[in-house]
A = this chain, B = another copy of it.
């Protein structure tokens, strides 16, 4: 491996959030994960002690912001402080999924913009760069003043569907905020686009009605989104799509949050025939199911880390 000008050798560290993905990246790069002690005291306080010096090194710190979310964020920040104070050459925080990314704007008064707070915390801890995948909104990149590589699983996911028969498909989305990215998916597959729109029923605070905008009659619907949490909207959408004559339903999304019992409920819906997602978040065995296809982002992250370390272009290969 060539060495980037200005930094020492590469050094990989993995937080405790997603060790399987970290191992895959380590294997891809043929670089070991560095050992360190991580102690949790009985008062929950974490303590970190590196086993060897990182002076001058080009460190990539792999951490998930999945559950336990706050502990994982804090673990990442403490690790950054620890690396900085050991006079590391450069720290790149690699978090394939960014927590709090949906708290990215004040769409009502008197709410926080927590994603900016998280970005500031990462910067104040001492990170020099960051790498992440499919931010909930591209604008979040502007919350950072340090540079970063915001990658996408779009190619991974869309290529998967492109390799299957898809002539009869229609791409749909249940979130109008994802309409533009849904369009890109439809364009890539060369198929039409439809929307599932949800409106609250007047005079009933808790009821709402769903409508289909566009044509799904007799179609194989591919429902796309960036993340799935409870899956309840999708299950409702599955019913309304079926009622409008959709033939089958596949799901495609990057971040498998899948709060229990989302995985169980989704796979229980007959019309949902396949769930395609990635391992940006750890998907434990109990959430997995034969209907679920998990594509690995490890080669993507590994290649980007390699290129970042060697000072080669990332954009030419991976951005949407």
Query: Which A residues lie at the B interface, using CB under 8 A?
Result: 3-8, 41-57, 67-71, 73-74, 77-79, 81-82, 84-87, 89, 99-100, 102-117, 120-121, 123-126, 129, 137-143, 145, 147-150, 175-177, 179-180, 182-183, 187, 190, 192-195, 197, 199-200, 202, 211, 213-214, 229-230, 257, 259, 262, 307-308, 311-316, 319-320
A147 and B47 contact, CB distance less than 8 A: no
On chain B, the residues within 8 Å of A67 by CB distance are 43-44
- The 8 Å CB contact of A112, one of B85, B109, B139, B213, is B85
A142 touches which of B4, B48, B113, B314 (Cβ 8 Å): B113
Number of copies: 6
Check A183–B176 contact: CB distance below 8 A: yes
A53 and B176 CA atoms in complex are apart in Å by 30
Please state if A113 and B81 are interface contacts (CB–CB under 8 Å).
yes
The CA-CA distance from A49 to B82 in the complex, in Å, is 34
Q: Are B140 and A142 in contact (CB under 8 A)?
A: yes
A142 engages B115 (CB within 8 Å): yes
Given contacts A105-B139, A137-B105, contact A78 B117 (CB under 8 A): yes
Chain B residues near A143: list those with CB within 8 A. 139, 142-143
On whether A142 and B107 interact (CB within 8 A), knowing A7-B6, A312-B55, the answer reads: no
- Pick the residue among B41, B114, B129, B195 that contacts A229 (CB under 8 A): B41
A53 contacts B320, C-beta separation under 8 Å: no
CB of A160, distance to nearest CB on chain B (Å): 21
Residues of B within 8 A of A138 (CB): 104-107
CA distance A195 to B314 in the complex (A): 34
Q: Which of B7, B142, B197, B259 contacts A42 (CB 8 A)?
A: B259
Q: How far is the CA of A35 from the CA of B100 in the complex (A)?
A: 23
